[in-house]
């Protein structure tokens, strides 16, 4: 990673931290705060990591926030994402050439594929220092503990290399890796991943599975590990295309895997497919701790590294974080590939506060009735897009998908309950709101066309509550709406108390009311009459726990709402009204899973960093819900 450090230094994108800081919480917390600065802050090189509990000073620096800005991400990719996307699009154009000149042009275009073929080399500086047998000790590496309730230290930037039983298919993935002991790592590869498919091949054959973890080297290896490539395509092929050079690989010492020769650290081993160990909890990129689940275990047979290695790591938790910029590169690069299975798709955006798989915005050129819903189903059936929980589709006349204020009004001016599609399917294994593990509700909204009087009349006839179709929305102030909601709830004796209301999009046809609630009454959405009486002033209502939310912070409200709902359970369509229960869920028959804790920084660690001279503003702590539940009804009222 020395070349990356030099590159960042040349572009003033690196901050060196010489203060001794603990691998337990201190280093991760400081990196977490850095990436939340405007523009993503700087990359951080911690030169003096320590483990105070064990009295250890490491001579291996920790490198963090590597992808944490648009500029650094482009420096790593060596070109703008649009250029990479254009390359992929040109390769996908498989029309037969017409004429000799067109044939030469096609040959030139496809000649770049020569860079996808890895080249095997015999020696690597990453194998200069070797630990085997009893000398294997993961605790010699500065592996971080990011969050207070993490069950152990976790490797978070590990390139996980696997191959099929016959060795013909290879995969590079990016998964968290829990330290179980000096020579064992938990492998959190999820049920939908290629590594898991390989695992089942070895398990069926009764054989141990070779796995190698690489750390460092070119950061683009790490990005390629999370790239949503079609099944069976080796991620290092993408690396070769982008860099226009063949990946140079070296064979591992104790298993048949090959990894890039320029990495810093290599961890080799085998997985006994008959053994599983509990993994977690871990504060993941959703901003919540994932539950304890059994996962495979890597039994390490060798650890090797460069004479002066650098240990890369990242922090995941509440957005915005480093994955914002990694996700942006992924989103832009893979638009052409997604368009091959979604005819009419013009663009898409996965906001980082929707933690990518929880919310997608898409712009399409609709050509026939139901076109938007057709693409919704296509998304929900394609690769990693199948994990998306909520999809909102707009027309080609919509604002830019990153122009969120104007886009919101565009959507609200075209909102109709008739255009809501509620479905179900696979979810990300990290999703905590679904009643079942990795399976739950999905919601799509078609906002591609305006609601003119003719269209509105057609749709009103099909509403669940036609008698309300004639009622015109009468916008009222937050205070007046609060009084109206309280009166309606009091009349039905619902066991919750509404303390705050904030409306968004008041200048639009159908505003959204965010309703702050105290109490956990699960009947909140079930009493139709309560909400029907408010049809003239409330069309879209979103309920949140007032103690945990700042109702004046739309960025974090979106984060919590899309995290906390399962569309089949938590969305009610009542005539022209729709209500969403985004409160935390109690363990019950409708949600038979424990609700997880959030990833909050430890206040004592924040104070310790301040005492060491690091500036940490109270405003940042509040804006991104960093230390604790951000507000109370009283502070919101102020």
Task: Give the catalytic positions in this structure.
Answer: 284
Answer for the pair 265, 309: CB distance below 8 angstroms, yes or no.
yes
The token pair that represents 503 in the structure block: 């409306």
H or E stretch at 328: helix 322-333
Q: In what order do the strands lie in the sheet with 49-51?
A: 21-22, 49-51, 56-57
- Cα 14 to the center of its chain, rounded Å: 25
Output helix, strand, coil percentages for the chain, rounded to the nearest 5. Answer: 35, 25, 45
Phi-psi region of 519 (alpha: psi -120 to 50; beta: other; left: phi over 0): left
Helix 26-35 with 603-611: angle, nearest 10 deg: 90
Token pair 């320590």 is found at 50
Task: Report in angstroms the alpha-carbon separations of 499 from 428, 546, 609.
Answer: 33, 7, 36
**57: helix, strand or coil:** strand
Task: Assess contact for 190 and 198: CB atoms under 8 A.
Answer: no
**What are the beta bridge partners of residue 265?**
215, 305
DSSP 49: E
3-state SS, residue 519: coil
DSSP string, 117-139: S-EEES--GGGSEEEEGGG--GG
Burial (CB < 10 A; 0-12, 13-18, 19+), residue 604, is exposed
- In this structure, the number of other CB atoms found within 10 A of the CB of residue 203 comes to 17
| Nearest-5° Cα angle at 437, 432 to 438 | 90
Total Cβ atoms within 10 A of residue 446 = 25
Sheet holding 571-574, edge to edge: 497-504, 512-518, 540-545, 577-581, 571-574
Is 241 within 8 Å of 288 (Cβ atoms)?
A: no
Q: What H or E segment, with its residue span, contains residue 360?
A: strand 360-364
The phi, psi pair for 340, rounded to 5°, reads -70, -25
Contact 19, 45 (CB under 8 A): no
For 268, list phi and psi in degrees, rounded to 5: -105, 155
Helices (H), 344-473: 371-379, 404-412, 453-460
In sign, the C-alpha dihedral spanning 225, 226, 227, 228 is positive
* Alpha-carbon gap, residue 570 to 405, rounded angstroms: 25
Q: Where are the alpha helices (DSSP H) in 442-496?
A: 453-460, 478-492
Q: 54: how many CB neighbours lie within 10 A of its CB?
A: 9
């Amino acid at each position: 990673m020395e070349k990356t450090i030099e590159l960042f230094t040349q572009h003033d994108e690196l901050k060196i931290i010489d203060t001794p800081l603990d691998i337990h919480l201190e280093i991760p917390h400081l990196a977490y705060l850095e990436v939340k600065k405007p523009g993503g802050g700087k990359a951080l090189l911690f030169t003096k990591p320590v483990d105070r509990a064990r009295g250890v000073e490491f001579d291996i620096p920790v490198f963090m926030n590597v992808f944490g800005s648009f500029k650094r991400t482009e420096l790593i990719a060596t070109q703008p994402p649009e250029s990479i996307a254009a390359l992929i699009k040109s390769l996908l154009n498989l029309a037969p050439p017409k004429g000799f000149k067109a044939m030469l042009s096609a040959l030139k275009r496809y000649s770049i594929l020569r860079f996808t073929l890895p080249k095997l080399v015999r020696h690597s500086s990453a194998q200069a220092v070797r630990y085997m047998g009893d000398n294997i000790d993961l605790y010699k590496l500065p592996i971080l503990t990011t969050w207070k309730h993490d069950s152990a230290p976790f490797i978070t930037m590990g390139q996980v290399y696997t191959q099929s039983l016959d060795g013909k298919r290879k995969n590079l993935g990016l998964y968290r890796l829990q330290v179980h002991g000096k020579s064992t790592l938990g492998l959190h590869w999820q049920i939908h991943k290629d590594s898991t498919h390989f695992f089942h091949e070895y398990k069926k054959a009764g054989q141990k599975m070779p796995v190698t973890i690489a750390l460092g080297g070119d950061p683009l290896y790490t990005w390629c590990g999370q790239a949503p490539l079609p099944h069976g395509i080796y991620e290092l092929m993408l690396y070769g295309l982008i860099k226009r050079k063949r990946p140079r690989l070296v064979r591992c010492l104790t298993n048949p895997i090959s990894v890039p020769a320029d990495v810093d650290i290599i961890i080799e081993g085998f997985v006994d497919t008959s053994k599983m160990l509990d993994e977690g909890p871990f504060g993941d990129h959703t901003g919540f701790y994932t539950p304890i689940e059994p996962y495979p275990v890597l039994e390490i047979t060798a650890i090797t590294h460069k004479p002066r290695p650098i240990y890369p790591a990242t922090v995941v938790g509440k957005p915005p974080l480093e994955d914002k910029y990694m996700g942006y590169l992924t989103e832009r690069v893979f638009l052409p590939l997604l368009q091959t299975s979604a005819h009419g798709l013009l663009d898409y955006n996965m906001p980082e506060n929707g933690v990518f798989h929880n919310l997608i915005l898409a712009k399409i050129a609709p050509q026939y009735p139901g076109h938007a819903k057709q693409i919704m189903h296509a998304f929900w059936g394609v690769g990693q897009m199948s994990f998306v929980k909520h999809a909102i589709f707009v027309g080609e006349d919509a604002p830019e998908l990153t122009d969120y204020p104007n886009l919101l009004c565009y959507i609200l001016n075209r909102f109709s309950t008739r255009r809501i599609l509620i479905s179900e399917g696979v979810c990300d294994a990290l999703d905590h709101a679904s009643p079942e593990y990795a399976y739950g509700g999905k919601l799509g909204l078609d906002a591609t066309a305006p609601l003119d009087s003719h269209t509105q009349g057609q749709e009103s006839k099909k509403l669940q509550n036609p008698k309300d179709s004639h009622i015109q929305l009468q916008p009222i102030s937050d205070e007046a709406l609060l009084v109206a909601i309280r009166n309606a709830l009091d009349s039905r004796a619902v066991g919750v108390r509404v303390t705050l209301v904030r409306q968004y999009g008041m200048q639009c046809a159908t505003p959204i009311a965010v309703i702050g609630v105290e109490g956990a009454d699960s009947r909140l959405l079930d009493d139709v009459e309560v909400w029907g009486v408010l049809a003239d002033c409330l069309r879209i209502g979103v309920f949140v726990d007032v103690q945990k939310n700042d109702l004046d912070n739309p960025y974090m409200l979106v984060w919590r709402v899309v995290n906390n709902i399962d569309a089949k359970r938590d969305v009610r369509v009542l005539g022209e009204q729709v209500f969403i229960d985004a409160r935390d869920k109690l363990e019950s028959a409708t949600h038979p899973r424990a609700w997880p804790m959030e990833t909050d920084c430890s206040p004592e660690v924040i104070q310790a960093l301040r005492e060491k001279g690091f500036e940490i503003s109270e405003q940042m702590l509040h804006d991104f819900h960093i230390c604790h539940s951000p507000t109370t009804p009283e502070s919101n009222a102020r």
